[in-house]
Chains A and B, each alone.
Chain A
Amino acid sequence: MAKQRVIPGFGLSLGITITWLSLIILIPLAALFIKAAGLGPDDWKKILTSPQVLAAAKLTFGASAAAAAVSVVIGLLTAWVLVRYDFPGRKILDAMVDLPFALPTAVAGITLTSIYAPNGWIGQYLEAWGIKVAYTPTGVWVALTFIGFPFVVRTVQPVMEDLALELEEAAASLGANRWTTFRRVIFPMLVPALITGFTLAFARAIGEYGSVIFISGNLPMKTEILPRLIVSQLEQYKYEAAAVIASGMLIVSFALLFLINLLQRRLNWQAR
């Protein structure tokens, strides 16, 4: 590092950052992987392919993907309305979008359960149609969508605000109607942000615990998500199994984030 530093504090801030990062995040996570690696590949395979883990993984990743996909639709609509239109209540709507970030997950969990329970505000009408939400995989999906869609709004919104109106004017002057302009001009520019939003919502959903466990009912093989399965392993003092499931989850989420980062970089590069 030959360049001279003008501003002081490099050593101190580096020291604090690395120390705190190592103590709180890196060493504990390393301990988790070491604990899991203490078991051989055979044990890993046995734990990770047990029917209960497979069922929980299917539910967790499936419901997370479905929730992130719906979040993209709701998030795009919300961001569009907030950025493009002026209407009474816009500011309040804008502030409300952050509610799922700020609301403690346990509060979201018991509240969503009470709303979607068979006698709840929404649940009773769905029940009449024969749709059950609480204590089913659908309930897991509802909770994860609640948690996930603000991520999409908040990643798409700034990009939308920066869109150049000239491009839309050009499209209109060339005879494109609004829908064509949206489809062919606006939407492609939003794709990288939508992918980022999807990823963030998906990653958050995979690990989500508090808002899900109340509405899901946690029936093994049916409505038990992976984080809940880890807790139940811990409650049975199966530390190794818990560590293996957790490591598997982390590896998958890190890999996903990495892959989608790569994809996004490529898209960004193409858009340039």
Chain B
Amino acid sequence: MSRPSATTESGPVRWLLIGLAFVALSLFLLLPLAAVFVEALRQGWDVFIKAFSDKAAASAIKLTLLSAAIAVPLNTIFGVAAAWLVTKFRFKGRSFLISLIDLPFAVSPVIAGLVFVLLFGARGWFGPFLQEHDIRIIFALPGIVLATVFVTFPFVARELIPLMESQGSDQEEAAVTLGAGGWQIFWRVTVPNIKWGLLYGILLCNARAMGEFGAVSVVSGHIRGKTNTLPLHVEVLYNEYHFSAAFACAALLALLALVTLGLKTAVEHFTGHTTKGRH
């Protein structure tokens, strides 16, 4: 970058700042990331592989995939609908609605779990009714999905709203005048325009859904082999001092994070535009 020298710093200052940033981020980011894999492999590959052949681990992975497979599509549909609503139309209460969509970001994951315990727990509002009809929500899959949906609620919408706002509605309006129907416009005009942002929103939503800990921990009940997701399984192993196995499962989750970041960088590269936002 050749900037006029009046608007940049002298060489030494520049390299000092770059050096400081490198040291800070290495200590803060790279070291923890390296630690996950080092700890996971401390007792060798055999122990690492064995951590996944365990029955409880397999069921935790299955449950994690299943709850994400339910929660992510639901929030994707919501996110697209919400983004369509607030970017294509102007109406009273629109900015209030946008703040409401962001609301889950300001709610502790623990509270996100708590609200569903208060509603559906044995001593919650619907508790007696659910018990009578032998429906389990808390300490079962539905509760885990509900908590996951709560914490991943804004992700897709948050990605799409600024993107669709900046694109405007000209193309959709043109399609209307050419006689296209609503779904036709959506699939053939809007989706091609927003596909990368949508993909990125889904990726983030998925990463958070699979990695969610606090909210799921409150509603899951930690029933081994039944209601433990992978992050909860990590906690159980860790608290039982099975450190290598805990870090092996943690390494799998860290890989998921790295893949998410890699895909994000790829998406940005493809679109030549940044998708940086607040998450």
A residues with CB within 8 A of B: 1, 3, 5-10, 12-14, 16-17, 20-21, 24-26, 28-29, 31-32, 35, 74, 77-78, 80-82, 84-87, 89, 91, 93, 95-112, 114-115, 121-122, 145-146, 149, 151, 154-155, 157-158, 165, 168-169, 172-173, 178, 200, 203-204, 206-210, 214, 226-228, 230-231, 234, 237, 239, 242-243, 246, 249-250, 253-254, 257
| The stretch of B47-55, B128-136, B191-199, B253-261 that contacts the partner chain | B253-261
Check A243 against B246 for contact (C-beta < 8 Å). Answer: no
- The answer, yes or no, to whether B212 is at the interface (CB within 8 Å) is yes
- Nearest chain A residue, comparing its CB with the CB of B181: A8
12 contacts between A and B (CB under 8 A): A13-B88, A21-B97, A25-B150, A86-B1, A91-B265, A97-B25, A122-B31, A146-B28, A158-B276, A178-B9, A178-B10, A253-B107
CB pair A115–B32 under 8 Å, yes or no, is: yes
B247 contacts A151, CB within 8 Å?
Answer: no
Interface string of B176-210 (1 = CB under 8 A from A): 10000110011000000000000000001001001
> Which of under 10, 10 to 19, 20 to 34, or 35 or more describes the interface residues of B?
35 or more
A7/B169 in contact, CB under 8 A = yes
Residue of B nearest to A12 (CB): B81
A13 near B117 with CB under 8 A, answer no
Contact residues, B77-112 vs A (CB, 8 A): 77-78, 81-82, 84-85, 88-92, 97, 100-101, 103-111
B 1-45 contacts with A by CB, 8 A: 1, 3-4, 6-10, 13-14, 17-18, 20-22, 24-25, 27-33, 35-36, 39
Q: Is the CB of A106 within 8 A of B213?
A: yes
Q: How many Å lie between the Cα of A111 and that of B234 in the bound state? A: 11
Instruction: Determine the chain B residues whose CB is within 8 A of the CB of A85 once the complex forms.
Output: 1, 14, 17-18
> B111 is contacted by which of A17, A78, A149, A249 (Cβ under 8 Å)?
A249
